[in-house]
Chain A
Amino acid sequence: QQQVKQSPQSLIVQKGGISIINCAYENTAFDYFPWYQQFPGKGPALLIAIRPDVSEKKEGRFTISFNKSAKQFSLHIMDSQPGDSATYFCAASSLTGGGNKLTFGTGTQLKVEL
């Protein structure tokens, strides 16, 4: 059973466009929602993260939108660039339980075309 559902599975966006990836979660104990970026042959790396006490967080071209009542969060990549082509994973965890055991979504393969 997938506790964090991610869509779409793959996404093609034109350079300069907006990439949007969506995630939904079930466990209301989750209180930390990061997005990880992974390039081929590399491990995932933290891109941006949000806590449920805010509805939006922006870092450069990357924005997380968070809807606590709907149990959904999304990643927006503005002015998408070819260098953004990678696999993106949403994740969730409960920090109050100690440690940071992440539950990941299934990933979105993003391709940004010229």
Chain B
Amino acid sequence: NAGVTQTPKFQVLKTGQSMTLQCAQDMNHNSMYWYRQDPGMGLRLIYYSASEGTTDKGEVPNGYNVSRLNKREFSLRLESAAPSQTSVYFCAFGQEMNTEAFFGQGTRLTVV
């Protein structure tokens, strides 16, 4: 997937554990996003960052925190994982005025 690296690709957590999902883009775009994908629900926006140093909540932010470390990197943190956070997580990026959002390959997270 064009210009974006997501790590890890797979992860199993126990309830209550914490972890950080990493995302880095090499296209020098301003906006970055975290989505989660669940069966029958499409993709839902968790958090986004319109530019370096700014972050904002999306549709389903509860239980998550984010950090826009620099223009390239946008991380998603689960402080205390819950089974309801079992999902596939996608990082995406794009220019503010550009209409295309580029998605990573996803992180499949299972919380047991």
Contact = CB atoms under 8 A, between A and B. Distances in A.
A43 B105 contact: yes
Given A101-B33, A104-B44, A49 B106 contact: no
Interface size band for A: 20 to 34
Nearest to A46: B100
A82 to B, nearest CB: 22
B48 to A, nearest CB: 6
14 contacts: A9-B40, A36-B103, A41-B105, A42-B106, A43-B103, A43-B104, A45-B103, A46-B101, A49-B99, A89-B43, A98-B50, A100-B94, A101-B48, A107-B40
A45 B42 CA distance: 14
B90 interface: yes
A36 B37 CA distance: 13
Nearest to A9: B40
A105 B42 contact: yes
A100 B101 contact: yes
